[in-house]
Amino acid sequence: MTSNPFLLAADGSDALLPLLRSNPDLAHAQDESGYSLIHALISYNHVSLLRRVVEEFKLDVRGTVDNDGETALFVAETVEAASLLVEELGVDPLHQNHEGQTAEEKIVQEGEFVVVGDYLREVRGSGGERGHVAPPRPLPDGVRMSIGTMQGDEVLEQPPDQEFRRRIEELAARGDFNDASGQAQLRELVKDAVRDVGANDRETRRRVA
């Protein structure tokens, strides 16, 4: 009787590789829920064994999803497992399941494996690779940012307001930038900038009058 490869994967058993070598099709098997050996190995944090299975049997880690549209990243319970998928095997941390959730969003919603959620948030904030700063998201249509000059009775050129630039780029890089809350904060930021410019303009007029 053939051993169950999913149980062997969950156990991290040394018997898994010999079984798969005797029947390579089992390496690509998925159960009735779409649960794969990749999901099983990641869920139980058998990262070394997963590396060997992926390399030897050329598994499509990025494209393997279960019936809910979830990659193995959705079942990662440790940062070690999540980083293997994202940083070594190229799994997209922004991939969404059939409910429109990323792995990070589902983990945060369920309130478990907080460190994995924190890691994925860090990856998202760094553009997919830790240690690198992600470029800010483009501003929405109809919104333009022009900083550095004021017009009054005399045109006074000034250097860009670096603090305002930093704040707006930081806001644009956030995941909720295009949501209602992000747009509300953008409007408040622009209002603050307009008030500051108006105050500076009035002060300048007093000085040059």
119 is a domain residue:
yes
Domain extent, residue 56, equals 5-125
- Backbone phi and psi for residue 72, each to the nearest 5 degrees, phi listed first: -65, -20
Which tokens hold the place of 185?
């904060």
Are 56 and 10 found together in one domain?
yes
Asked if residue 152 has pLDDT above 50, the reply is: no
Q: From 125, 141, 157, give the residue that closes a domain.
A: 125
d(CA 182, CA 202): 30
Q: How confident is the model at residue 169 (pLDDT cuts 50, 70, 90)?
A: confident
Are 119 and 189 found together in one domain?
no
Which tokens hold the place of 9?
């994967």
User: What ranges in the chain are assigned the alpha helix state H?
Assistant: 5-11, 16-22, 37-43, 47-57, 79-83, 103-110, 114-125, 162-172, 180-208
Q: Which range has the worst mean pLDDT, 35-44, 64-73, 152-161, 179-188?
A: 152-161
> CA dihedral defined by 8, 13, 19, 25, rounded to 10 degrees?
50
Are 165 and 101 found together in one domain?
no
SS3 88: helix
d(CA 107, CA 101): 10
Are 109 and 160 found together in one domain?
no
Average pLDDT over residues 112-138: 70
d(CA 141, CA 86): 31
Residues 56, 17: contact at Cβ < 8 Å?
A: yes
Place of tokens 């780029």: 169
135 is a domain residue:
no
Asked if residue 28 has pLDDT above 50, the reply is: yes
pLDDT at 150: 41
Q: Which one, of 51, 127, 121, 133, lies nearest residue 85 by Cα?
A: 51
Asked if residue 128 has pLDDT above 70, the reply is: no
Are 154 and 116 found together in one domain?
no
Cα-to-chain-centroid distance, residue 91: 11
pLDDT at 179: 64
Average pLDDT over residues 2-7: 86
Asked if residue 191 has pLDDT above 60, the reply is: yes
Per the structure, the count of domains in the chain is 2
End-to-end CA distance of the chain: give it in Å, rounded: 96
pTM higher than 0.75: no
Are 14 and 70 found together in one domain?
yes
Are 114 and 154 found together in one domain?
no
